[in-house]
């Protein structure tokens, strides 16, 4: 049997506590024995409830890999995971005030948000578009002049729509929904003509609707939206673990299987298949992990 010097054993024993002391987030996790994960309720296929009211999704699977890395780093195999629901409006404040340790959803990483929170390496890239009923004959942004549109509270999409409305003097009435499901329902029931949101979420909502053939998603992409999980800002110890865990995952063969699971195979609760192949841009981003919030990096 190989014998290790006493100094090596002591160093290994104290490494995790020392690391926890260097990171406020890791110290809180270690002291409480719990990591708190923020999740969405209807951001299919990223973070949502299935028919058993279990939180599932592409982002959740990625974050669970991060949780495994934190368990190993802190030598806490029995670390408890607490799921905390968040909305578009509450997700940033709950990370900023320390209530949530890692937010796993469909959150756009941009330079403005990085003033308040940190982001993991990007795990998806989408674009801002609209969905409308085919019967409304909407073909462009100009066709929405003077009409009622909707977007979700606290999103980059509603911020863009508000600014563009004023810039182009479109005279649109902009409604605010509490979540994506409510916003889509407004289009479905005729309360709004169009819903502006990230296209991958729109594809999911249309595919899950009663009559998918009734809807059209705009062909023009208005903004680029890179997704990442949010984490506390300026916590270098925590970031090191998260960045290493995500980079290792992205570069592994496991990432391709994880992507296929959520974007090219039937997903719960209705068994719909999104049929969204991994784009060349996302392949490039995953091969060269980055948490850059500058949209020009993703073009």
Question: If you search the block for the tokens 């949502």, which residue do you land on?
Answer: 48
pLDDT of 22 reads 85
**Cross-strand partners of 102:** 37
* Model pLDDT for residues 213-249, shown as the tens digit of each residue: 999 999 999 999 999 999 999 999 999 999 999 999 9
User: What residues have CB less than 8 Å from 252, skipping those under 6 apart?
Assistant: none
Question: If you search the block for the tokens 């279990």, which residue do you land on?
Answer: 54
Contact present, 121 and 247 (Cβ < 8 Å): yes
**Cross-strand partners of 128:** 198
Contact present, 66 and 80 (Cβ < 8 Å): no
In the chain, where does the domain assigned CATH 3.40.190.10 lie?
12-123+228-298, 127-223
Q: Could you tell me the pTM of the whole model?
A: 0.89
Average pLDDT, the chain: 93
pLDDT of 19 reads 58
Rounded CA separation 198/230 (Å): 17
Rounded CA separation 96/233 (Å): 8
What is the chain's Cα-based Rg? 21
Q: What confidence tier does 14 reach under pLDDT thresholds 50, 70, 90?
A: very low
Nearest residue to 140 (alpha-carbon basis) of 180, 186, 194:
194
**What is the CATH T-level fold of the domain 12-123+228-298, as seen in this structure?**
D-Maltodextrin-Binding Protein; domain 2 (3.40.190)
* Model pLDDT for residues 107-156, shown as the tens digit of each residue: 999 999 999 999 999 999 999 999 999 999 999 999 999 999 999 999 99
The mean pLDDT of 183-190, rounded to a whole number, is 98
Q: What are phi and psi of 172, to 5 degrees?
A: -75, 145
Q: What confidence tier does 21 reach under pLDDT thresholds 50, 70, 90?
A: low
The mean pLDDT of 82-91, rounded to a whole number, is 97
Query: 127-223 sits in which CATH class?
Result: alpha beta
Beta strands in the chain (DSSP E): 34-39, 42-43, 47-49, 55-56, 80-85, 102-104, 118-119, 124-133, 148-152, 173-177, 194-198, 215-217, 224-227, 230-231
Q: What are phi and psi of 185, to 5 degrees?
A: -60, -35
Both tokens assigned to 195: 């819903």
């Amino acid at each position: 049997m190989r014998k290790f010097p006493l100094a090596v054993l002591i160093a290994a024993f104290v490494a995790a506590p020392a690391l926890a002391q260097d990171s406020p987030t890791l110290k809180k996790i270690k002291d409480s024995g719990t990591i708190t994960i923020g999740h969405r309720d209807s951001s299919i296929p990223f973070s949502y409830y299935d028919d058993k009211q279990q939180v599932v999704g592409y982002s959740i699977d990625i974050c669970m890999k991060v949780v495994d890395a934190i368990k190993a780093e802190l030598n806490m195999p029995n670390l408890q995971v607490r799921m905390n629901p968040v909305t578009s409006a509450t997700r940033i404040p709950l990370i900023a005030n320390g209530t949530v340790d890692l937010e796993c959803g469909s959150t756009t990483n941009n330079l403005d948000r990085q003033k308040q929170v940190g982001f993991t390496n990007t795990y998806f890239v989408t674009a801002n578009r609209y969905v409308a009923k085919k019967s409304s004959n909407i073909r462009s942004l100009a066709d929405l002049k003077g009409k009622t549109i909707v977007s979700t509270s606290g999103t980059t999409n509603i911020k863009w729509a508000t600014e563009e409305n004023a810039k182009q003097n479109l005279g649109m009435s902009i409604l605010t929904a509490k979540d994506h499901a409510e916003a889509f329902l407004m289009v479905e029931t005729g309360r709004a003509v169009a819903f502006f949101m990230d296209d991958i979420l729109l594809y999911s909502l249309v595919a899950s609707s009663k009559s998918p053939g009734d809807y059209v998603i705009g062909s023009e992409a208005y903004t680029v939206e890179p997704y990442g999980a949010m984490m506390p800002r300026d916590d270098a110890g925590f970031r090191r673990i998260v960045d290493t865990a995500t980079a290792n995952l992205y570069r592994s063969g496991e990432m391709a299987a994880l992507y296929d699971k959520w974007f090219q195979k039937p997903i719960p609760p209705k068994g719909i298949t999104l049929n969204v192949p991994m784009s060349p841009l996302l392949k490039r981003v995953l091969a060269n992990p980055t948490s850059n919030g500058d949209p020009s990096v993703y073009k």
